Structure 1
């Protein structure tokens, strides 16, 4: 009984802090990685907004693709996520070239000026 109470309490506390279960993150990663044109899913961030999930997904694509092709891949990732996860409210899909994917790609151009926090343009 104590194990059940602990697991239930942990799930409720995580949800109160907008935390997302690792299984949900993995489900998002898996659905996005199956889309043709996605070579890697470099980052998944999600949070609960009420009873619905909002996600941000970084995908890596062939660097030789056009912007239109990359946009089509992102649109299909979003479409597949909405079909595979009934509790997903929406997703922002960020496309990077495969060799420069994820947060590291954006840290390269990060800088700070005029008292602003570290950022990139």
Structure 2
């Protein structure tokens, strides 16, 4: 879902996510404008054998990278999960 977001911002966000150490893929990325603020909700894949603390650290790094690389981004909620082959 893009809500009128410039495709260049979407590309920049995807690059920032995929360049995050520990992120091995992305399932989805939602960017939307709420007023004059941009909000992001990515879902990324990490190694399913990682402990919760390591997965949380990767999510935090992904959030930091998004905020640094995407202008006007004020709110980020990163969802983390294993690749489908490792799921359950």
TM-score computed with the length of structure 1 as normaliser: 0.64
Aligned partner of residue 54 in structure 2, secondary structure: helix
2:24 is the counterpart of 1:45: no
2:28 is the counterpart of 1:29: no
Residue 23 of structure 1 deviates from its aligned partner by 2.0
Task: Please list every run of 5 or more consecutive structure 1 residues that lacks an aligned counterpart in the other structure.
Answer: 1-17, 106-121
Poorly superposed stretches of 4+, deviation over 4 Å: none
TM-score computed with the length of structure 2 as normaliser: 0.86
Choose 1 or 2 for highest CA Rg.
1
Q: Which residue of 1 aligns with 2:47?
A: 62
Aligned partner of residue 55 in structure 1, secondary structure: strand
Q: Could you report, residue by residue, the CA deviation over 1:10-34 in whole angstroms, capped at 9, with x for unpaired residues?
A: xxxxxxxx42222221211110110
Q: Could you report, residue by residue, the CA deviation over 1:69-118 in whole angstroms, capped at 9, with x for unpaired residues?
A: 111000000011111112101111000102359xxx7xxxxxxxxxxxxx
Task: Please list every run of 5 or more consecutive structure 2 residues that lacks an aligned counterpart in the other structure.
Answer: none
In the alignment of these two chains, the number of paired residues is 85
Residue 64 of structure 1 deviates from its aligned partner by 0.5
Alpha-carbon distance change, 43 to 67 in structure 1, aligned in 2, over 3 angstroms: same
Q: Which residue of 1 aligns with 2:68?
A: 83
Compute the RMSD of aligned alpha carbons: 1.7
Q: Which residue of 1 aligns with 2:83?
A: 98
Aligned partner of residue 74 in structure 1, secondary structure: helix
